Amino acid sequence: MPVSPDIERSMLNGQELKSQKKREEWVLLGLSLPAIFVIALVVILPVGWLFYLSFVDGHGSFSLEHYQKMVEYKSYARVFIATFKVSALTTLICIVLGYPIAYFLAALPSRWSGIFMLAVLLPFWTSLLVRTYAWLVLLQRKGLLNDLAIQIGLWDSPVKLVHNMTGTLIGMAHIMLPFLVLPLYGAMKKIEPDMMQAASNLGASPVRAFGSIYLPLSISGLAAGSLIVFVLCLGFYVTPAVLGGGRVVMVATQITAILEHQFNWGAASALGVVLLLATVLVLYLAGRFFKFDTALFGKR
Partner 1 sequence: MNNPTALPISIRGLTKKYGDLNALNSVDLEIKSSEFLTLLGPSGSGKTTLLMAIAGFNRPDAGSIKFGDAEMVLTPPHKRDVGMVFQSYALFPHMTVSENIGFPLKLRGLAAKEARGRVDEALATVQLSGLGDRAIDQLSGGQRQRVALARAFVFRPRILLMDEPLSALDKKLREHMQIELKQIHRQLGVTTVYVTHDQREALTMSDRIAVINHGELAQVDTPEAIYNRPKDQFVADFIGESTMLSLTRGGDGRLSFGSEIISSSSPNPSVLKWSLVVRPERLHLLERDVNTSEKQVVFRGHVKEYVFQGETGFALIALNDMTILSVRFGTGARSRIRLLELGALVSIGLMREDIILIPEEGQM
CA distances in angstroms from 269 to 34, 57, 226, 239, 265, listed in the order given: 28, 11, 27, 21, 6
Q: Cβ of residue 100: shortest distance to partner 1, in angstroms?
A: 22
Q: Is 62 helix (H, G, I), strand (E, B) or coil?
A: strand
Per CB under 8 A, the list member of 212, 256, 287, 293 interacting with partner 1 is: 212
Closer CB to partner 1, 46 or 206, in the complex: 206
DSSP state of 235: T
Q: Is 94 helix (H, G, I), strand (E, B) or coil?
A: helix
Sole window of 112-120, 195-203, 265-273, 277-285 interacting with partner 1 (rule: CB under 8 A): 195-203
Count residues near partner 1 (CB under 8 A). 20
Handedness of CA 119, 121, 125, 129 (dihedral sign): positive
CA 79 to chain centre: 20
Q: Cβ of residue 115: shortest distance to partner 1, in angstroms?
A: 22
CA atoms of 209 and 54, how far apart (whole Å):
53
CA atoms of 129 and 157, how far apart (whole Å):
29
Sole window of 43-51, 159-167, 187-195, 250-258 interacting with partner 1 (rule: CB under 8 A): 187-195
Sole window of 68-76, 117-125, 203-211, 282-290 interacting with partner 1 (rule: CB under 8 A): 203-211
Sole window of 4-12, 77-85, 209-217, 257-265 interacting with partner 1 (rule: CB under 8 A): 209-217
Closer CB to partner 1, 46 or 298, in the complex: 298
Q: Cβ of residue 240: shortest distance to partner 1, in angstroms?
A: 37
Q: Cβ of residue 212: shortest distance to partner 1, in angstroms?
A: 7
Tell whether residue 293 is a contact of partner 1 (CB under 8 A): no
Tell whether residue 164 is a contact of partner 1 (CB under 8 A): no
Per CB under 8 A, the list member of 95, 165, 204, 278 interacting with partner 1 is: 204
The answer to whether 188 and 221 have CB atoms below 8 angstroms apart is yes
Q: Is 257 left (phi over 0), alpha (psi -120 to 50) or beta?
A: alpha
Neighbours of 7 (CB within 10 A): 8
DSSP state of 236: -
CA atoms of 221 and 216, how far apart (whole Å):
10
Q: Cβ of residue 130: shortest distance to partner 1, in angstroms?
A: 42
Residues that bind partner 1 (CB under 8 A): 192, 194-195, 197-206, 208-209, 212-213, 216-217, 300
